Amino acid sequence: MQPSPLPTSLPRFLTALPVYNESLYVTEVLDQVVQHSHDVLVVDDGSTDGTRELLVRRDDVDVVFHNGNQGYGAALRTAFEYAIVHRYDVLITIDCDGQHEPQRIAQLVRACQRADIVSGSRYLQQPDDEAEIPADRRQINQQITAELNAQLGLSLTDAFCGFKAYRVRALAELSLGEAGYAMPLELWVQAARHKLRIVEVPVPLIYLDQERSFGGSLDDASTRLGHYREVIDRALQRAEEVGMAETPHDPCDSGLQTCS
C-alpha cells in the first residue's frame, strides 16, 4: 500500500536521524520515516556494525558519514548545519532505535509554526507502564529536568527526548560545542538564554532495549549524572562569558513556555 501524500500546507522540512551502530533497527526505521518525510538525512557517526553498508544501498535518503565516532551531539550538530545550509524551514530529529513514531512527524512540524523548539515528552502524560524504562534513566531524567527548570525558568517534563522539531532560523542563533549525549542540555541553556519559544508535545514511552549502553564510564548512573551537571554548569558559564543574561528568565516575560 502506498503511503498517504503529505499535506501540502506544511513548511519545507527535513527529518534527520543520528545513527551509530544501528544495524538492527535502521532499515525498519527508515522504511517508516520516508513514508512521512520527503527529505530525510542520516548522519552515520562512524558505525562499525554494518549500518554503513545498509545505508549506502538506499537511494531514498541522504547520508553524511563521520570519520570515526564523534558522539551523538556531534551528529546532531551536523544535522543542524545541513538544515541551515540547505535553507529548510523546520528540522525534525528522530532517533534510530525504534523509540519514536514517524507518523507523528507532521504533528511536530505543524507545532513548530508556533514555536522555535517543539520537544517530544514521554512524561507530559502519565505513561501506561513506567517500568518500561530503566529506573536509573528515569530518575536521572527527572533530576536533570527539575534542575534545568529551576536554573532556567523552564517547565520541561522530559529534558532528553530526541524527537524534536526546530525552527531552522532559531538554530542558526545557537553555538553548540558538546559532542556527546549531553549536548541537548547545552541546547536547553542556550535556548533559554536566547529566549526561544519552547513547546512540549506528548509522545509515547517506547523503550525497546533495556540494556542499551551509553558507552564507557557513562554506563554508571552516578558518573552520568555528574557529567550532565558539569555540562549544564559549563553551558551556563559560557552563556555568561558571551554576554547573555546571567539570571533565569520568567517564562511569562520571555516567551518561553511548555504546553500540551
Digit-coded pLDDT (tens) for 82-113 = 999 999 999 999 999 888 999 999 999 999 99
Is domain 13-254 classified as CATH 3.40.50.1370? Answer: no
Predicted local confidence at residue 245, as pLDDT? 44
**pTM to 2 decimal places:** 0.86
> CA 81 to CA 14: how far, in whole Å?
12
> CA 143 to CA 225: how far, in whole Å?
9
* Residue 21 predicted with pLDDT over 70: yes
* Residue 252 predicted with pLDDT over 50: no
Predicted local confidence at residue 221, as pLDDT? 85
Mean pLDDT on 138-154: 95
Q: At what angle do helices 135-152 and 221-241 cross, to 10 degrees?
A: 20
* Residue 256 predicted with pLDDT over 50: no
> CA 193 to CA 138: how far, in whole Å?
26
Q: Pairing state of beta strands 40-44 and 62-65? A: parallel
Average pLDDT, the chain: 87
Predicted local confidence at residue 251, as pLDDT? 38
Mean pLDDT on 181-194: 95
The residue behind cell 507532521 is: 106
C-alpha distances (whole Å) from 260 to each of 126, 143, 201 are 13, 21, 5
Predicted local confidence at residue 43, as pLDDT? 98
The full set of domain ranges for the chain reads 13-254
Mean pLDDT on 123-143: 76
